[in-house]
Amino acid sequence: MTILVTGAAGFIGYHVSHALLARGARVIGVDNLNAYYNPALKQARLANLTSQKDFTFIETDIADHVGLTDRLNSMKADQIIHLAAQAGVRYSLEKPFEYVSANVAGHLSLMELARHWSVAHFVYASSSSVYGRNAKTPFAETDATNRPASLYGATKKADEVMTSAYAHLYQIPTTGLRFFTVYGPWGRPDMAYWIFTEKMLRGEPIEIFNHGEMARDFTYIADIVDGVLGALGYPPGPQSDHHQIFNLGNDHPEPLMRLVTLLEEKLDLKADKRMRGMQKGDVAQTWADIAAAKGAFGYTPKVSLDEGLEHYVTWRKGLETGF
């Protein structure tokens, strides 16, 4: 089995690629290694993958469809796991065109590839951000997603709508996965747990938005990987018009201040907290209803925030310097 993984040098793509290789799959990893955050972190992840014989890396921009297809001209995958995207809610306010390029044009590029390769299953990353200003909790896949709070969320919603059309037109089995605040070792430096850790280690103050009145459905990376691979083995059929969507979260929203308290305990440091108002594009709470994924392919998150942060801090302490 050969599987194309986009965003292979990214946080989730790196861990998913590792898990696939451990299962005996051949992985073609694609990434453009952009500088949204320190490329040294992406290179370090990539080094761990390229050392394995069944991993092939292609550096290219998925939004450049001609360039992408040229680079993959002699290759073909049985399935695609499309995880590449321009991430970050707040950055989408500053660089909106980068989001449309990577998340909309790039997504279309991968769907075209899936169509021409006639893949057995096209699995792609959506986001909890599609729920936007939805006030009902927990968030279920059947809830309305037409009121995004950010451009990032809007691009992910666009991906879902485009994929539904392609699945219907070309009978491509497709699955969208709405990820909820993924964290853990080898994570993303723009995430709150990472920012707080680095600032606390340097003795700098941390900014806490909405005066701490926030909650997130923090989901440990190993649980997300289990969900991605579970979904990969559960392609939809004609009964769902070849397209399905699942939440992948922890079904347990945690107060932001509990995250801070746990980091203080594990780092043995006291955070200098600076309370701030709500940031534009943000939401106060996320909470995943995971009943659909559990019923379909047995998705059951196992790692608590306490345990997950312990793994993360242990990993971070093992680094000579941060990224």
CA separation, residue 77 to residues 6, 44, 110, 121, 314 (Å): 12, 25, 12, 10, 36
CA separation, residue 85 to residues 60, 127, 142, 206 (Å): 13, 11, 24, 27
Q: Integer distance in angstroms from the first to the last C-alpha of the chain?
A: 34
Active site residue 36: no
Sort strands 215-216 and 254-255 into parallel, antiparallel or unpaired. Answer: antiparallel
Q: Which of 91, 99, 124, 152 is catalytic?
A: 152
Q: Please count the residues of the chain.
A: 323
User: In degrees rounded to 5, what are phi and psi of residue 57?
Assistant: -110, 135
Catalytic residue IDs: 152
